[in-house]
Chain A
């Protein structure tokens, strides 16, 4: 069973490949909008200038042209920067695809190169976990020690965390709203109401600051566009005007609750992950959960420490064992026997042998033992000694 199942290995790497692609798509979209906007503005102004060229004093004309030149120069600068970013993202996509392509070159799970690749994957998964949890120093160290800059989505998570902290700590919707504006099309496709929630929160803050006239204007401008999907909530929001922030009436008290900011931050995280094809739970969780399940057996649950194998991750009672507590056991369609002495497989080539006291060991381990013990074998679990000839062969179909 030492062959590598490449399709399975690749199946879980979707986010790895898709994230730079999504980042690239957004960068190009952003450029497109910016270039359109700026060139349109400059074009329109030029038309104006041509129309009114005889009515303008030369200095006025010059200064208008200077304005246009500056605008285009700024655009060019921005484009040069974005071009760099785009090209780096493409390079990153290529490097990641190349890393996955290496899998085709490995023949068996015991190859040192394959094991090295797996170690790197573990580091990648850990870096993703660290970035998600905000353990930035640890993430940075892991990236540096493994030279994994192109395999970590540091910039994306930096963006996520900056907007989150703006929501949670500074209680400001600014960054989140401008992100929503940039990604309106994609958000509409997934029918996401994050923008509405943000607008609602700003409205609530205006009421909290006792700025009623501004709140009403704000609602007219920013809440009413959502009336076909969010009418009941808009109505409740308007009713909020009649309550004070210290109200104890449950639905309105909930609207004034400061905890809503954390809720907004969480919702933002969920939405941006969805857009970038990142799983809601870290890949580390998913791999550990399914891995522990696949390894968990009855023996791991036993209270008897003799049943535990020190190499089995689920038997690490203090750490992974606790994590595996609520997870399903592994399923087996066929028997799989392991010798307690050597840890090797017991099958037709190395059959299981039953000692008179019922304990079973592999033929090879008993034979080796009897060579040093003068034809006798000692059962490690019970301490009893028997003759090798007393062991009977077992047949497991």
Chain B
């Protein structure tokens, strides 16, 4: 890419000089013509020199501008070659999928959800109108509520009351979800805010009101004890050991944490599903493209297969379901071919187990018993237990 940037700069210089020169030669031609015209006075013979001069200038303008523009075109082509080198993928090999035919509305709703989730309610309304979609009112209301609270956290005054109230009201629900961090984070933010504003007494009262409920949690108590020391430095926070607690990002982090908890409580995804899919697609598309390019000769269209031909590497944050691949058969586990655990703890799929069991000759002492492929422990079909990931 930096090659391209450099070439753009070169091209820009060329274009500048080429156009300046072209305009100049045309201006000169115009001037010569104007001189010739102005020197014609009625009743006298025409001034041949002027006319010849004008003709020469016009021809010069013709030659020069042609030359300059050709040069510019050559330079543009050179830049074009650099661009060609930078991109080798042919997207047309994956462009024939019919998977989205007749699904325009579903796609519209997916986009609409995304706009609502991002808090862009006017945009959502505009998009719904342009596509004659119904704005899903309850989703809109939920997100409006969320943004009401989140924008207060993000605003200049950083108001936390609504967020704290919402969180306290749903204490039990959050505990079940395993989310005990949110309430404490919000209380800590408020506590620090009060100290920062010089309201030491209020801060102390706030601590007395909200911190005791963490008395059974040793980790939290350590942090609280550390926090309480802040009163010594109340007048010179920036130079205190507590300065690192007062970063600008803390509000954004708090807002995000709240948004994630809010979405979880509403059964909504933490991140925009559309955004996650596009990011997954950015990894998947080049991979599918390359493979499709190879499959082209066999007239096999990628989207009509049951399964993708290759694995698309995705970051851990995009693994939402467990996928078990049998280490023996390399097949994915399905409801009909579930993963089974042998007593040693190794897991293979049922089909592989059956193959292992039937590999032993009937009538021998060891009938139906087999050794685990990965360790010396013996097992049988009956010993293997189903596993639900």
Contacts and interface: CB of A to CB of B under 8 A. Distances in A.
Interface of A: 1-2, 5, 7-15, 17-18, 21, 24-25, 28-29, 31-32, 35-36, 39-40, 42-43, 46-47, 49-50, 53-54, 56, 58-59, 61-62, 65-66, 68-69, 72-73, 75-76, 79-80, 83, 86-87, 90-91, 93-94, 97-98, 100-101, 103-104, 109-110, 118-119, 121-122, 125-126, 129-130, 133-138, 141-142, 145, 279-281, 284-295, 297-300, 302, 307, 309-313, 315-316, 318-320, 322-323, 325-338, 341-343, 345-346, 352, 354, 358-360, 365, 368, 381, 392-397
Contacts of A325: 99
Contacts of A93: 4, 8, 11, 79
Given A36-B66, A101-B1, A289-B97, A11 B88 contact: yes
Interface stretch (B163-171, B197-205, B283-291): B283-291
B294 to A, nearest CB: 15
Determine chain A's interface SS by DSSP, over half rule.
helix
Contacts of B374: 395, 397
A156 to B, nearest CB: 17
A129 B100 CA distance: 14
Contacts of A334: 311, 325
Contacts of A54: 45-46
A50 B73 contact: no
A138 B36 CA distance: 56
Nearest to B249: A112
Contact of A316 (B26, B44, B52, B269): B269
Contacts of B289: 11
Contacts of B309: 331
Contacts of B54: 46, 65
B238 interface: no
Nearest to B64: A39
29 contacts: A10-B1, A17-B86, A39-B62, A42-B62, A65-B37, A76-B27, A76-B30, A83-B23, A93-B79, A97-B1, A122-B279, A145-B123, A284-B278, A292-B277, A292-B280, A294-B283, A300-B321, A307-B321, A312-B269, A319-B110, A322-B106, A328-B303, A331-B307, A331-B311, A333-B330, A335-B324, A338-B319, A358-B388, A392-B341
Interface of B: 1-2, 4-5, 8-9, 11-12, 15-16, 19, 22-23, 26-27, 29-30, 33-34, 36-37, 40-46, 48, 51-52, 54-55, 58-59, 61-62, 65-66, 69-70, 72-73, 76-77, 79-80, 83, 86-89, 91-92, 94-95, 97-100, 103, 106-107, 109-111, 113, 120, 122-123, 126-127, 130-131, 178, 264, 267-271, 273-289, 302-325, 327, 330, 332, 334-335, 341, 344-347, 374, 385-389
Contact of B319 (A319, A345, A395): A345
Given A46-B54, A336-B322, A354-B341, 16 more contacts: A24-B76, A39-B66, A58-B40, A66-B37, A72-B33, A73-B30, A134-B130, A145-B120, A289-B94, A292-B277, A293-B288, A313-B273, A319-B106, A332-B311, A360-B388, A396-B347
Contact of A101 (B5, B27, B79): B5
A69 B33 contact: yes
Contacts of B22: 35, 79
A12 B80 contact: no
A54 B281 CA distance: 76
A375 B313 CA distance: 38
A322 B278 contact: no
Contact of B274 (A7, A10, A59, A313): A313
Given A1-B315, A310-B268, A332-B323, A352 B389 contact: yes
B315 A86 contact: no
A358 B321 contact: no
Contacts of B103: 322-323
B303 A327 contact: yes
Contact of A290 (B4, B285, B321, B346): B285
Given A14-B87, A46-B58, A53-B48, A65 B33 contact: yes
Contacts of B70: 32
A282 B270 CA distance: 27
Contact of B323 (A297, A326, A328): A297
Nearest to A16: B87
A197 to B, nearest CB: 22
A19 to B, nearest CB: 11
A333 B73 CA distance: 50
Contacts of B73: 25, 28-29, 32
A134 B131 CA distance: 10
Given A29-B73, A94-B9, A320-B273, A17 B307 contact: no
Contact of A8 (B95, B287, B303): B287
A99 to B, nearest CB: 9
B323 A69 contact: no
Contact of B126 (A83, A141, A293, A345): A141
Contact of A395 (B122, B310, B345): B345
A349 to B, nearest CB: 12
Contacts of B109: 318-319
A313 B320 CA distance: 9
Contacts of A68: 33, 58
A335 to B, nearest CB: 5
A137 B123 CA distance: 9
Contacts of B279: 118, 122, 291
A7 B285 CA distance: 12
Interface centre among A118, A309, A360 (most CB of B within 10 A): A360
B52 A11 contact: no
A97 B4 contact: yes
Given A17-B83, A65-B37, A125-B278, A328 B59 contact: no
List the 3 closest A-B pairs by CB distance, nearest first: A291-B281, A287-B281, A312-B320
B277 A313 contact: yes
A168 B51 CA distance: 52
Given A101-B2, A336-B323, A341 B316 contact: no
Contact of B59 (A43, A329, A332): A43
A109 B110 contact: no
